[in-house]
Amino acid sequence: MDTGEARLEGLITFTSDFGTSEEWVGVVKGVILSINPRAVVVDLSHEIPPFDIGKGALVLAAALPHLPVGVHLAVVDPGVGTRRLAVALQCRRGDFLVGPDNGLLLPAAERLGGVTRAFFLENSDFFRRPVHPTFHARDIFAPVAAHLSLGVDPSEMGMPMDAEDLAPAPWGRAKEGEGAVYATVIDVDRFGSLRLNAYPEQVEGLGHRRGDRVIVGLGEGEMEFVLASTFGEVEAGSPLLFEDSSGVMALGVSGGSLSARTGSRPGDTVIIYGPAAR
């Protein structure tokens, strides 16, 4: 389909929690190139914390809208070897996402226009054989991604699925009500800022504008944050509420780590109050 988006022929991105000290990343890329020698393989990250589906989902959702249309292989798979499904998803923008059915792929799929087709990967003609029970990235996902990059339709790889039957995403959109946004910390970045499942329009909907001082419920207490566009707009050591480069709202400290200051972690509840709620 012609989506009007930039397209790079043979593009396959690869994201995992494999790290780079073992042979796993190189082996997966080698399998891809053995099937499609002309593939362009782009590593997004292999430093996702082990088994951290939420972090992997955020990395994909943050990165993929900025890349050309292509095939996106992602493996953060604590359920490898169990009855969890292996899937390929086609998105409205034209991309394919390949990986385990554990919610990892869904936030990125949403950013790419939503899932238009989903398939359960079951045709072993497109797998390496034998399939090792602990290395589906090498034996199932990599070969499937390579074949998709060559133009094979995913309908040849397995039965179609209803997108509503896919495992849920690790986090949804923050709730709104009673003059506040009820959010969740979905990630702590390397600088100690707290990424939230809240979006700029939700904060604007409360009536806040740039430069406002915003009361935020965090942990068992409350803190005041300045709604800002960048860290340089507040004094060093001052808290700020800002739109992260990934497109979600975040809480941080200029020149410091909010996570270290507050002990906040992924999964914690955050309440962003509107002016009328205080």
Give the tens place of pLDDT for each residue, 186-211.
999 999 999 999 999 999 999 999 99
Q: b or e along 71-106 (b: 16 or more beta carbons within 10 Å of the residue's beta carbon)?
A: bbbbbbbeebeeeebbbbbbbebbbbbbbbbbbbbb
pTM of the model: 0.91
At residue 278 the predicted structure's pLDDT band, cuts being 50, 70 and 90, is low
Q: How far apart are CA 253 and CA 68, in angstroms?
A: 33
Residue 277 reports pLDDT greater than 70: no
| 86 close to 135: Cβ distance less than 8 angstroms | no
Q: Is the dihedral of CA 29, 41, 144, 109 positive or negative?
A: positive
At residue 3 the predicted structure's pLDDT band, cuts being 50, 70 and 90, is very low
| Of 6-15, 96-105, 152-161, minimum mean pLDDT range | 6-15
